[in-house]
A and B are shown apart, each in its own frame.
Chain A
Amino acid sequence: MKVKRLVILSIIVAFTLLLTACWDLLEIENRSFVLSIGIDKADKKESEDEGLDLENEGSESDETKSGGKEEEAKSKDKGKSDSNEKESDEENKYKITFVNPDTAESEEGKVLDFMTYDTEAISYSTGAIKLLQRFSKAHNFEHTKVIFLGRSLLEDGELVKNTVDILGRWRHLHSSMLMYMAVDKAGDIFKVKPKSKTLLSNYIEGIAEHNKEAARIVKVTFKDFAKQIITSEGHAALPILIPCKDEVESTGMGIIKDYKLIGELDEKETIAYMWCNGKAKGGVIECRCSNCAVPLIYRYFKRKIKLDKIEGSTVYLTFEMVTDGAIEEYTLGKKLLENKKLKDIEEKLEKVVIEDSTALIKKMQQEYKVDLIGVKEYLSKYHPRLHKKVSEDYDDFFQNDLKIKVEAKVKVRRIGKTV
């Protein structure tokens, strides 16, 4: 009997000890889902004192170990990278804004309001940890939808490199977050209270989804951005988001060359950018036809690059654009149901595509001097030998020895429900 009791007792003890799972569980109400993150370059004058002590401790111990010489070298290196800033190591680099839904204000499971938390720190991880000093819940990044990078951050090459690395390395983050460049400060976007009464991140996500209908809306996820900037070693384009009082607008793109923001594309150029990169999914091309605008709505756009010939060091490429769609707008008293008229319109539309694309290519080659039109990618994939030859001095090749011709084939397939 005694043995039996002992066995039963030990089983109970074993069960209570071994089957108590989730001893480190985190209830959902104690989690705080970070919906979007804004990253800015920290203002120089503002600096928080708390938390900085940590950094000081670290650097002090470094100094005692390595002595004065290394410290000098450090400051010299620093001077090289950002010439006019004589900042010490302790200066904050990032201003990070986290956006969490305000669950206290929720009604019937619908959360409309959100809270923002700012923190400044020398590194991203320190910032996230410093935030815990005044934040009661645990951050969760599984549902982070949007990331905004401030203009000043993008203008600093080192910080762009750091940021892309952080976003890729940090295990909590996933790579399907949308990326935007804020027209000024990333933090400003969070001041917008959308009039459509939705959470800001969902609102922006909804806008990005419209890229299927409008080529001027660019949807770039972190995966796309990282792929572009890593593969091209520093060149990428990011869509710009402009905050207004109660709405935001996605318009234009920022051009990043050698990890630095160097310029912007306007709406027309953005559309041409999407065309030239074969990323356009749908949109509208407009031409004028006897005093009225004739827009072609397309849901299909294809770009193909062809190598025509190589003459000496000059390479001739052709960008072939093919699209078709419907015209559903004209004027009374005139008919569209004529083959000849449609051919006329098609020619005009083709001219628009060619002109806009050529203008962008010219701008890329001569003004920005950066290959964001997919030429390098094309050469490396389809003409690896030529690519190897020209990549010794690719910038020179791209600006001087590359002649690009644009051809377009536009087909008007349908004309709506009237003749």
Chain B
Amino acid sequence: MIKDNDIISPYQITAITIMTLIGVGIFSLPRELAEAAGTNSVIMVLIGGILSLFVMGILVTLNCRFPGKALPAYSGEIIGKVPAKVLTFIYIIYFTAFIGYEARVMGEAVKLFLLSNTPPEVIILSIILACTYAVRGGVECIGRAMEVFFPFLFIPMILIMLPGITDADFSNLLPVFYGLPSKFFKALPVMALSFSGYGLLLFYVGFMKKPKKAYIYASVGIAIVTVFYMLIVVLCLSMFGVKVVEGMIWPLLSYVRSVNLPGLFIERLDGVMLGIWVFAVYTTMISFYFALTYSLSCLLGTKEQKQFALIMVPFIYLASVLPQNFAQVDKVPVYLIQYFGSVLIFIVPLLLLIIAWIRKKGGSKNEG
């Protein structure tokens, strides 16, 4: 019975894609882009989104060859059992570090703006523990959580950001296309970083009844995220200009902080924004967390993944407190995602697909 329950609907795949992609990065995204691409940032987001669609296509194609299975299960078929276990273990390390990083950045922001007297350890631990609760519910629980959170996160977030348009000077987005080729390769890693979350499709598509539907539904998710990122970048750049955004740690938060709503019952919206953002981080974390526990259960050959949720808490916590200061925290994504993660998300699936194709593994009757 439980097995039959582990199914996610196509709409949930859209929600999972969106909520996994939008994580801690949205606060710092405008700065990273402004540093790398200057006024071409908006174009770069668009290019990043389109490229992501292609990579997502590769991931889903790989999954479609093995319907009803996720990466740790079918990688064994493709490259053999032992190499697959090693690969799964690498993914486990990556996921642990990633969840730790997300928790840490959230802890830093909450400590700085909301709970200045609470020890950061308490903030980090409580969010990790809150995640274990969702993860123990299994994949269906994750899918539903995303489905429920999605409107609650998106609608208020956009409503909060829109009033700032009155203050925006859209000429700050100019010149567009000037010097784009030279900045393209500098900005591409930043985009890889902000879109890296869809790598989890390798795990979630396996739980779909009709994995082929993921092509459309995950694309919709990526398109929504691309538009959302563009909105953030446009608003921040037009409000502050490239040079000021470069100097802000969290431009989006500064943007919301400077949106002034005179006469409204709340004058400052940054607290609300941070509250919503914690949800965004939470959903990203549970999405990765489930992939982590699921990989562990495959690695150790257990039927359930529940029991690993609590066991991983100390490891995630350790990963989150490893950076000594914020400068180190800020560099984490560069090493973790740009180098390590990119290989796992872009290169490994492509190699797997090629090997599967050469060795004629997987049910590929209809595929060319």
Residues on the B chain within 8 Å of A382, using CB:
174-175
B interface size (C-beta, 8 A): 23
B338 interface residue, CB < 8 Å from A?
A: no
Once the chains bind, are B112 and A231 in contact (CB under 8 Å)? no
Once the chains bind, are B174 and A176 in contact (CB under 8 Å)? no
A230 interface residue, CB < 8 Å from B?
A: yes
Once the chains bind, are A171 and B113 in contact (CB under 8 Å)? yes
Residues on the A chain within 8 Å of B178, using CB:
384-385
Q: Which of B43-51, B133-141, B193-201, B237-245 contacts A (4 or more CB under 8 A)?
A: B237-245
Residues on the B chain within 8 Å of A157, using CB:
none
> Cα distance A227–B178 when bound, in Å?
22
Total A-B residue pairs with C-beta atoms closer than 8 Å? 41
> Cα distance A223–B171 when bound, in Å?
17
Residues on the B chain within 8 Å of A176, using CB:
258, 260
The listed residue (B171, B175, B242, B257) touching A384 by CB distance below 8 A is: B175
Distance (whole angstroms) from the CB of A281 to the closest CB of chain B: 13
The listed residue (A142, A223, A227, A230) touching B268 by CB distance below 8 A is: A142
Once the chains bind, are A231 and B171 in contact (CB under 8 Å)? no
Once the chains bind, are B117 and A175 in contact (CB under 8 Å)? no
Distance (whole angstroms) from the CB of B337 to the closest CB of chain A: 27
The listed residue (A24, A175, A230, A384) touching B243 by CB distance below 8 A is: A230
> Cα distance A156–B112 when bound, in Å?
31
Once the chains bind, are A174 and B257 in contact (CB under 8 Å)? yes
Residues on the B chain within 8 Å of A227, using CB:
240-241, 244
A75 interface residue, CB < 8 Å from B?
A: no
The listed residue (B112, B242, B268) touching A174 by CB distance below 8 A is: B268
A168 interface residue, CB < 8 Å from B?
A: yes
Q: Mark A200-228, 1 if CB is under 8 A from B, else 0.
A: 00000000000000000000000100110
A381 interface residue, CB < 8 Å from B?
A: yes
Once the chains bind, are B257 and A175 in contact (CB under 8 Å)? yes
Residues on the A chain within 8 Å of B179, using CB:
384
> Cα distance A381–B179 when bound, in Å?
13
Residue of A nearest to B259 (CB): A176
> Cα distance A380–B171 when bound, in Å?
11
Once the chains bind, are A231 and B175 in contact (CB under 8 Å)? no
Distance (whole angstroms) from the CB of A164 to the closest CB of chain B: 10
Residues on the A chain within 8 Å of B112, using CB:
171
Once the chains bind, are A381 and B241 in contact (CB under 8 Å)? no
Residue of A nearest to B113 (CB): A171
Q: A381-B174, A382-B175 are in contact. Are A226 and B244 (CB under 8 A)?
A: yes
Residues on the A chain within 8 Å of B268, using CB:
142, 174
Residues on the A chain within 8 Å of B242, using CB:
231
B247 interface residue, CB < 8 Å from A?
A: yes
Residues on the A chain within 8 Å of B258, using CB:
174-176, 223
Q: Which of B184-242 contact A (CB under 8 A)?
A: 239-242
Distance (whole angstroms) from the CB of A151 to the closest CB of chain B: 26
> Cα distance A257–B257 when bound, in Å?
29
Residues on the A chain within 8 Å of B118, using CB:
24
Residues on the A chain within 8 Å of B117, using CB:
24
> Cα distance A223–B175 when bound, in Å?
22
Once the chains bind, are B244 and A231 in contact (CB under 8 Å)? yes
Once the chains bind, are B247 and A231 in contact (CB under 8 Å)? no
Distance (whole angstroms) from the CB of A239 to the closest CB of chain B: 18
Most buried by B among A143, A171, A174, A226: A174
Q: Mark B101-113, 1 if CB is under 8 A from A, else 0.
A: 0000000000011
Residue of A nearest to B117 (CB): A24
> Cα distance A223–B179 when bound, in Å?
28
B28 interface residue, CB < 8 Å from A?
A: no
Once the chains bind, are A230 and B244 in contact (CB under 8 Å)? yes
Once the chains bind, are A231 and B257 in contact (CB under 8 Å)? no
> Cα distance A306–B117 when bound, in Å?
54
Residues on the A chain within 8 Å of B174, using CB:
381-382
Distance (whole angstroms) from the CB of B326 to the closest CB of chain A: 12
> Cα distance A384–B242 when bound, in Å?
14
> Cα distance A174–B113 when bound, in Å?
12
Distance (whole angstroms) from the CB of A20 to the closest CB of chain B: 14
Residues on the B chain within 8 Å of A230, using CB:
243-244, 247
Distance (whole angstroms) from the CB of A129 to the closest CB of chain B: 15
Residue of B nearest to A142 (CB): B268
Distance (whole angstroms) from the CB of B112 to the closest CB of chain A: 5
> Cα distance A168–B258 when bound, in Å?
12
B254 interface residue, CB < 8 Å from A?
A: yes
Residues on the A chain within 8 Å of B260, using CB:
176
> Cα distance A209–B171 when bound, in Å?
24
> Cα distance A382–B178 when bound, in Å?
10
Residues on the A chain within 8 Å of B243, using CB:
230-231
Residue contacts A-B, CB under 8 angstroms, 11 given: A142-B267, A175-B254, A175-B257, A176-B260, A223-B258, A227-B240, A227-B244, A231-B242, A381-B171, A381-B172, A381-B175
Additional A-B contacts beyond A174-B258, A381-B174, A381-B175 (6; CB < 8 A): A175-B254, A175-B258, A223-B258, A231-B243, A231-B244, A385-B178
The 8 residue pairs across chains A and B that have the minimum distance between CB atoms = A381-B174, A24-B117, A384-B178, A384-B175, A175-B258, A231-B243, A176-B260, A230-B244
